[in-house]
Structure formats: structure tokens, C-alpha cells
A and B are shown apart, each in its own frame.
Chain A
Amino acid sequence: MAVDATQHVAMTFTEHLPVLQVLVTFVAAPLVVLLGSRQLSWLIAFVASAVSFVIAIFLLMQVIDGSVISYHIGGWAPPLGIEYRVDATNAFVILLVTAISTIVLPYARESIKDEIPAKHHTLFYAAFLLCITGLLGVAITGDAFNVFVFLEISSLSTYVLIAQGSYRDKRALTAAYDYLIMGTIGATFFVIGLGMLYMVTGTLNMADIAERIADQGSNRTVRAAFGFIVVGIGLKVAIYPLHLWLPNAYTFAPSAVTVFLAATATKVAVYILLRFTFSVFQPAFLFEVNTLEYIILPFAIVAMFAASFIAIFQNDFKRMLAYSSIAQIGYMLLGISLLTETGLTAAIAHLFNHGITKAVLFMGVGALVLKTGGSFYNRIEGMGKIMPWTSAAIVIGGLSLIGVPGTAGFISKWLLVEASIEKGWWPVSVLIVLSSLLAVIYVWRVIETLYLKAPEGPVLQKAAPLSMLIPLWIAALACIWFGFATDITLSASRSAAQGLLAGTAGMM
């Protein structure tokens, strides 16, 4: 920690931004409960989320050139004190989380009116704010145990949010219970891993752990710790064989919750995986290279095909998107397991682009559910004529999911193909293209249902309100915008990838 030896005490307002990033939503959550007013609670939640978004922009602007902000909580210097450490990677993830939450909240207002009884709305917003806090905390902290604490804050509020879907379908309760069991096992595995790391290194600061592991090299405890951490986080990421909680949780959660979870929660988990595989453990650590190449990579490819294949044979639009999410996580893991700069850039860019894409699609589903009362294909037949704006946005999102040129999804898939060719693994790049063809099939099924079939049965005349359409279209236009203005995502992901690959050097 030689570089940070000078005592750092934050004095000005701007120097306190890293801690405010987490605190704003954290303080807003109990405030919402104490005031107990339904109208105010939405406003407080939205303002808190918007303020976080502005802070996130400021932080990203400061670190996009590859520099690092180190904030010492309470003035206690690391490694003893807890440190918040902002670099290009987590600033980018924080930006994604706050941007999505700020878009989702206006959308949630109308959506949950339809799906959750009015008396629970205040508590819903409180849980939502806590979930944001947890995700932001996980992303920003530089302390390994802090990751666990924030992970549990976000997970516990997520279980509550998913269970809120029970007013529409009682299976939301069992979905939330399943997720609770699997999520807790995952988090506990993660803590066991951390405990082993603490045994070996005697520290909890990530940069410090990295330095000490590099000094003493690999031993059995370090390898066991790596295994526990990867499996534990793998449950949260929904790496292919550990994905069983995901389809039901996404299908039965309230629409607004699904949008937020699909776009952020798994992405933050992927970020933790990145942080631990590259900043805490070293890419030079042979055991890790083998794990990524022989375990994560095959599972990523299996996920890309198996989950896409299951997605094709769904009769429910929302559940289809849940399976497609598992497949898309496969692309991110594939980028990570390539262990090259281009691969990592692709993974991080895909993390961001897929977040926006899934936000568009799930918001579209929510609007359809509000109008037709369900997301089954035969309930939404012919909606292209009845709800032209919603359906058009879904088409844009669908194209981005396939990776059609001119959309955000194309950029990251292109990078991924480039990365695998660069590595010399051309069969992998063929597989990426082939699995994208599966995406063409399941997206086409939706487009066919929306546009080429006549509306069936009586339709509830309940138009999607403007407060849902505007967030939907902001996200849809972002899909196109990031398909052309690629320099923002690419420069941020590239400097993030460089920082990660530099290992400890990147953390210093």
C-alpha cells in the first residue's frame, strides 16, 4: 500500500462522492418507511435514485482515464479501515445500476399500481431502494467482507421484491423461497471462501489480499478459497448449472422488479466475479486459468445453446426472456474466460449493452401485461396493431438481443467474435454466431405473434400510460444510440479491462 501511504482525509464535497453514492439511497429507504406516504415515497425514491445517477456520472468522468479514487471510510486508512475504491470497471457498473433504477422508477409507478395492492406500495419502494443500495455497495467497495454484507442487503430485498408478485401469481412465493435458499447457500459459500483467504493473508482489503497472495504464491487453501468464491458467486450470476432459481424468479416477480433485476442484479454479480478473478486472484495463477478454460468456458457455451434452445419452446414471453438471460450471461462468461484484453472488453461492454436490451424487453412485457393481463403468446397476439409504440420498442430490443448491426447488442457480440478469433479459438466464434441464430428464432416468434397474427378475444381497453412508454422508449433509443456512438461504452470497457488485467497494478 505504498502509494496510498499519505493520510487521505476527504475534505470537500466532491471527495465524499464515493460514500454518498451508497448513502443517498440507503438513507432514503428508512425515510420512505417513516413518512409512510404513498405519493411521497415514489418521489423520494425517484429523487434519491436520480441523485445517485448524477453522482455516478461524476465518478465515471473522474476515473474513465484509468485513474483510481480511494475513499477511506471514517478516515481509517486501508488495509485496516474499510476502503471504497472507484475505478473504470465499477464506475461503469454503478452507472448502469443507477441509470436503470432511474429509468425503472417512473415506469414502476403505474406498473405496480396494477400488480401490487396500494397498502404495500411504500414498503415496496423502501425494499427497492435497499436493493439499489446493496448493488451499489457491492460495486463500489474495496473490502472483501463488505462485498458479502452489501450482497446480502441486495439479496434480502430482492427476495422480498420477487415475493410481491404473489398478488398476480402465487408461484412468486415459491420462486422467492427457492431463490432465498440458493442465494443464501451461494452467499455462505462466498463467506467460506473469504474466511480461507483471511486465514492465508490476514487481511480483508482486496488490494492487500492480492498483494499477499502474489507474494506467497498458490497453495491448497488459496485454491479452495477460489473454488468456494467462484461457486458462491456463480449461484448469484446464474452460471449455467447454477441457474435454476432464475426463470421462475424473473417470470413471477412484478414487471418493474424483473426489469431492474434482469438489467442489474446478475450484472453486478458478474462484476464481483471479474473483481475476484482478476483483482484479488491473479490471472497468472495457473489454477484459475484452468478453471476458467476447462470449467467456465464449456458451461458458458452450453448455456448459450441450451438456454436459447429452451427459450425457443416457451409459450410465455416473460419466461422466454428469462431463459435468454441465462444464455446471454454465457456470452459474458465466455468473454471473461478468454482472458485477453479484447475478451474482457467484450464481456464488460456486453454486460452494459445487455443490461439496456433486457430493460427494454422486460419493460415492453410489463406494458403488455398491464394491457392484456398476461404475457402468454396467445394473449399478446396482434398487439402490434393495438399497442404500436410498445411493440416497436420490443422489436428494437429484440434486434439488439440478436445482435443486428446498428444496435447495442451487435457491438459487444462483434467484439466477442473478434476476441475469440484473436485468441485463435475460431470454433468458439462459430459457436457464438450459431447461438445468435437461435436468438433469431425466439425473437422472431415474438415478432410474428405481435404483428402477423390477428388479436384474439376481447382486449381490456387499458392503454399503456405515458409514464411507462417514455422510460421504455428512452431505453429503446439507448439501444440504438449505443449501437452507433460506440466510443463511450468501448473506451470505458477498454480502460476497465486494462485495469483488471494489470492485476494488482490496476488496483494500486
Chain B
Amino acid sequence: MGIDFTWEYVVGHFNYWLFSVLMMTGLYIVVAKGNLVKKIVGLNIFQTSVFMLYISMGKISGGTAPIFPLDMEIDPDVVYSNPLPHVLILTAIVVGVATTSLGLALIVRIREEYNTIEEDDLLLIEQAIVNTENALHGKSMGGRA
């Protein structure tokens, strides 16, 4: 099942290219950035890319909003988009907002306790705690992870 990368194929899947780019951008930010707030931003971009995937798949070319006319007389020539993925993504957006707010709340608490939100500094502080613990309670293996 080979794919020939014709112009039409590339342009026709424009949404999906963007989805992939956004998804990898988000994931890269989560992994590469040391600042905890930036990680949450990356996570948001990552989740937003999924919204795009779902909304794209519900769209039918030439399709209109799936709302019945008031008189309920449905013109068979009108094509409607699939509303289900859009509804699903409403739920996913709510989940995303909840995750973001919880993440930010945790960052506020981390800032209060550690006085920093940079991952490198956090690791140093935790390593110092582990070192004092090991001095008190004997050596252990495994470290932070």
C-alpha cells in the first residue's frame, strides 16, 4: 500500500500535516524545556493538536453545520459535517482546561516550597535532600527516578 506523494495528496491532508507538526512541537517543548510553566504550555499545544485531528475528521468537504432547518424539511442535496467528533473534543477541551489549571496550581505550590520553577534547580535541591537522607539512613539506589 504505497503512497504516491502527489501535490493533491500533500495539500489534501493539510490539516493532518499541521496536526503532526503541532503535536511534535508540543511534545518537544514538554521534553526539552526546563521551566515548569513552559512544560505546561507545551502540553497545551500537544493537546490542542489532538483537537485539530478530531475536528478535521468530522469535516466533510462542502458540508455545512449539522443543524436541521426550523421546518424540519431536510434538503437531500445538503451535506452535513459529522458533529460527533466536535462534541467529543468539547469534552477533551474541558479535560485540557482542568489539567492546565491543576498543573499551574501545583507549580504555585512548588514555587512556595522550593522557591524556583526551573527543573535543573529542583533536581539539585532534591539531590541535596537525597544526599542528607542517605547520610542518615544508609546508601540507596535509583535516585530521583
CA distance A149 to B144 in the complex (A): 30
Main secondary structure of the interface of B (DSSP, over half): helix
Closest to B39 in A: A181
Which candidate, A92-100, A190-198, A427-435, is the interface stretch facing chain B? A190-198
CA distance A174 to B109 in the complex (A): 9
Q: Does B98 contact A (CB under 8 A)?
A: yes
User: Beyond A145-B88, A181-B43, A185-B46, is A159–B138 a contact (Cβ under 8 Å)?
Assistant: no
User: Beyond A163-B106, A177-B106, A188-B50, is A248–B144 a contact (Cβ under 8 Å)?
Assistant: yes
CA distance A191 to B33 in the complex (A): 24
User: Beyond A163-B106, A191-B92, A319-B142, is A174–B122 a contact (Cβ under 8 Å)?
Assistant: yes
CA distance A332 to B32 in the complex (A): 33
Q: Are B102 and A173 in contact (CB under 8 A)?
A: no
Q: Does A377 contact B (CB under 8 A)?
A: yes
User: Beyond A159-B102, A181-B30, A198-B85, is A174–B43 a contact (Cβ under 8 Å)?
Assistant: no
CA distance A145 to B47 in the complex (A): 16
Q: Does B53 contact A (CB under 8 A)?
A: yes
A215 to B: closest C-beta gap in Å: 18
Most chain B CB atoms below 10 A, which of A171, A184, A323:
A184
A192 is contacted by which of B53, B98, B129 (Cβ under 8 Å)? B53
User: Beyond A170-B113, A177-B36, is A314–B142 a contact (Cβ under 8 Å)?
Assistant: yes
Q: Are B133 and A376 in contact (CB under 8 A)?
A: yes
Closest to A244 in B: B145
Q: Are B114 and A376 in contact (CB under 8 A)?
A: no
A191 is contacted by which of B1, B50, B109, B139 (Cβ under 8 Å)? B50
Near B by CB (< 8 A), chain A positions 201-255 give: 204, 219-220, 244, 247-248
Q: Does A379 contact B (CB under 8 A)?
A: yes
CA distance A57 to B51 in the complex (A): 39
B91 is contacted by which of A149, A188, A315, A323 (Cβ under 8 Å)? A149
When distances are taken between beta carbons in the complex, the residues of chain A under 8 Å from B98 are 152, 156
User: Beyond A149-B91, A378-B138, is A184–B106 a contact (Cβ under 8 Å)?
Assistant: no
Q: Are A247 and B145 in contact (CB under 8 A)?
A: yes
Mark each residue of chain B from 96 to 138: 1 if its CB lies under 8 Å from any CB of chain A, else 0. 0011001100110110011000000010001001000110111
When distances are taken between beta carbons in the complex, the residues of chain B under 8 Å from A152 are 95, 98-99
When distances are taken between beta carbons in the complex, the residues of chain A under 8 Å from B27 are 185
When distances are taken between beta carbons in the complex, the residues of chain A under 8 Å from B138 are 315, 376-378
Q: Does B80 contact A (CB under 8 A)?
A: no
Q: Are B30 and A377 in contact (CB under 8 A)?
A: no
When distances are taken between beta carbons in the complex, the residues of chain A under 8 Å from B84 are 204
When distances are taken between beta carbons in the complex, the residues of chain B under 8 Å from A199 are 57
Near B by CB (< 8 A), chain A positions 43-65 give: none
CA distance A166 to B109 in the complex (A): 9
Q: Are B140 and A314 in contact (CB under 8 A)?
A: yes
When distances are taken between beta carbons in the complex, the residues of chain B under 8 Å from A244 are 145
Mark each residue of chain A from 151 to 163: 1 if its CB lies under 8 Å from any CB of chain B, else 0. 0100010011001
Q: Does A426 contact B (CB under 8 A)?
A: no
Could you jot down 20 A-B contacts, CB within 8 Å? A145-B91, A148-B95, A152-B98, A156-B95, A174-B126, A176-B106, A180-B106, A184-B47, A184-B99, A185-B27, A192-B53, A195-B50, A198-B85, A219-B1, A248-B144, A313-B140, A315-B137, A319-B140, A378-B137, A379-B137
Chain A residues engaging chain B, CB cutoff 8 angstroms = 145, 148-149, 152, 156, 159-160, 163, 166, 170-171, 173-174, 176-177, 180-181, 184-185, 187-188, 191-192, 195, 198-199, 204, 219-220, 244, 247-248, 310, 313-316, 319, 323, 376-379
Closest A-B pairs by Cβ, 6 of them: A313-B141, A376-B137, A315-B140, A170-B113, A152-B95, A315-B138
